[in-house]
Structure 1
Amino acid sequence: MRFTQVLYKQDIGRLIKWQWRAQRKKSLIETNAYKILASKNIPVIDATTILREPILEAQKQDVQQILNNIVGPCKLPQKNDDTHPLWNDEPCLVFSDHNVLVQGLDQAKVFTNSVEPSSGLPQHLQDLFEAYKIPNQDDHVKRIINASVMYDSIQEKLPIKKDKERPAWNFPRDYGIPTKRRVHLLASRLVQLCDSSVGSMCSKKLLTKDVFFKVPLQRNSNVSLDIRADLLLLSDNPLSPFIENVLGKLPDIYPLDYKVSLDEKNIYKKDEFVSPISGKYNNVHTVIINYDETEVKNLYETPVKESQIFGRSLMKCYAIAVANAKSKFGDTIENLSEPISLQCIQTNAHWFHFSTFQLNTLCGPEENGKRNAFWQTPLINLYSKCCYEEGIPVLKDYNPDVFKHFLTFYMNGTEYGAN
């Protein structure tokens, strides 16, 4: 057996402990200051007679009161059962930001009592499509895309990637700009580009962020549309109607009910209406909504289809149009004296879906009367790739038609783009 070499090391931990033990007690050093002052007949006063320690708020309270606050009874959270003060035996069907309808656009048309008069956008917007162009338009938009999708300083953990064919495989976590922030930066900068370029010929507009709406409806049951407009463009003048007479039949989704796949809630406040639209800018011009794949999901955990994305745009258009109508004409209005027209842009900062909506009536599909109108475009990709490749920023296959639609929506309702 071979002995290892002896290393004469010091136990640093033991020495530190002994040092703390030796230095834990401090003795006061006699300075003889009192003797020197007394020899010169200088009076010495104890400092505690003049200076006093501040009394804390806790010391002012009674000891029993302090004990009651510490070990007293704790208020438990309210249970989500029939003991809740807002409990209702009849459930309320709720459509929220994360919902999509199982039958997609056809179910949304039946729910909102809407028809699609023609494919594409209204003729007025098609005529306005190439009517105006900003100088160096595409260069400005490309710079906005790069600044919003790649160059932003906010870097967060992105959602976990999953492969359907390999569900147990763990991908490396990516850091980047969240979808909601990308959409907000891209959309708000595009609106700013439109406003700075054509603002002199446009009516006054107001851009707001994260506007919440809660719209109650009666569809043979209590229904509530609880939706959020990520960006809302308000105007002092309403948009002109896109069409006078709306003709067409609603889709047939039998045997499904048009309220299927909505969330049921028993804790709610009946007929609660929330709409912040008021004052001078009480006309909805354009609503921009964010599509986040991690937030928007099917109730039955199936992949979201393209038709369901279109239906989500229609449902949000309808909810905001109804909220605007009730803010203008009262909560009990059904048949409008003048239509409510608005425009909608749904995007995930990669593809864009443009649609327009005209609200003529608040009646449900059970009544054979007026219909609402909805127009849309297919999904349009803004680019095919916008990322870093080997440390170099790359933007491929830029599509200029997206901003042309965006600028057309902004110009609608102005003196330049009047009907």
Structure 2
Amino acid sequence: MREREEYCPKLLQSLLHLCQTQHCTYPALAQRTLVADWKVATSWHKDSTIYHVRGSSGSLLSAKTPLDPLASSSDIQATEQHVLESLYPLSPAIDLQEVNVYQEKNHLGFKDGFPYPHPHTVYLTEPCSTKAKFLPDQLRAKMIMVAFGGAVAKAKILFGEDVRTLPRPVVVQSVGTDGQLFHFMVLQLNTLDFTSNDGIKNLVWMDGDQALYETVAAKAQIKRKVVVVPAGVAGFKPQTFVKFWAMYLNGAV
């Protein structure tokens, strides 16, 4: 199990390093930096509940310039007609930890004057341990939560603590992996007006369960003198890395 815990972050680091080697081909990539053990703190109110996102949240690719919105102004306005499904009688906070917070904070973990102030992509790994193992849906939920927290924090920094409908959307990407399956997400924050379920909505695009390879084994599995599963990584799927590269490259071309 220890090998799996180490393999997952090392694989992600190797893929990011491979992307970083293309700075000469795409000079705009030099306008970014990777922040390890990224810490964010923000909060928002919905009904009578205050939601907080705090603490270490994976690694963050941060940039000098923000990502462009994916949805146009007309697409954003069209979300007004969308009716959100009700969770009643369940609370939206049913699985969230309840804590006592005595001071609301809003920051992206950067000092004033940091030259790469715009969140670009959050990279999260599944814990890969027996006690804390995530299911794919749980990892995707964490991707949305952390990216949303980063977008909210940035929106408040840009437009003020009391902003509701944003003058300009804030876009944050996220990539999550358990070392084999990859999940790709883009979040576009359009509003912080949560007084009702009417009005414009925020948008999320998710492409999940994308395998980077078919199998990985410490030693070959042989049945009737035939290698059923070869040793090491087998069945590489390049289309998954193409998506990883496209997310990293977004905004640089």
User: Do the two structures share a fold, i.e. TM-score over 0.5?
Assistant: yes
Unaligned runs of 5+ in 2: 222-229
Q: 1:328 and 1:296 mapped to 2: Cα distance?
A: 36
Q: Secondary structure at the match of 1:258?
A: coil
Q: 2:50 and 2:206 mapped to 1: Cα distance?
A: 29
Deviation at 1:328, TM superposition (A): 2.6
- Pick one of 159, 162, 173 that aligns with 1:343: 173
Contact 1:202 1:411 in 2 (8 A): no
User: Number of paired residues?
Assistant: 233
Q: Secondary structure at the match of 1:379?
A: strand
Q: 1:217 and 1:296 mapped to 2: Cα distance?
A: 27
Q: 1:410 and 1:254 mapped to 2: Cα distance?
A: 38
Q: 2:136 and 2:17 mapped to 1: Cα distance?
A: 29
Cα pair distance change 1:202/1:285, threshold 3 Å: farther
Residues 28-43 of structure 1 aligned to structure 2 (within 5 Å): none
Q: 2:12 and 2:137 mapped to 1: Cα distance?
A: 23
Q: 1:284 and 1:224 mapped to 2: Cα distance?
A: 18
Contact 2:43 2:52 in 1 (8 A): yes
Partner of 1:395: 233
Q: 2:24 and 2:248 mapped to 1: Cα distance?
A: 10
Partner of 1:382: 212
Contact 2:84 2:197 in 1 (8 A): no
Unaligned runs of 5+ in 1: 1-157, 159-175, 298-303
Question: TM-score with structure 1 length normalisation?
Answer: 0.51
Deviation at 1:306, TM superposition (A): 4.2
Q: Deviations over 1:218-271 (max 9, x none)?
A: 2212321125331110111111100022323222222212122221123x3231
Q: Deviations over 1:48-68 (max 9, x none)?
A: xxxxxxxxxxxxxxxxxxxxx
Cα pair distance change 1:343/1:367, threshold 3 Å: same
Q: Deviations over 1:167-219 (max 9, x none)?
A: xxxxxxxxx4352x433322222122112125442421100101111212222
Contact 1:275 1:327 in 2 (8 A): no
> If each structure's strand is expressed as a fraction of its own residues, which one has the higher value?
2
Cα pair distance change 1:223/1:386, threshold 3 Å: same
Partner of 2:226: none
Cα pair distance change 1:293/1:255, threshold 3 Å: farther
Contact 2:155 2:170 in 1 (8 A): yes
Deviation at 1:341, TM superposition (A): 0.7
- Pick one of 176, 182, 186 that aligns with 2:7: 182
- Pick one of 64, 70, 77 that aligns with 1:242: 70
* Structure 1 segments of 4+ aligned residues over 6 angstroms from their partners: none
Contact 1:184 1:230 in 2 (8 A): no
In the alignment, structure 1 residue 262 sits paired with structure 2 residue 96: yes
Deviation at 1:368, TM superposition (A): 1.6
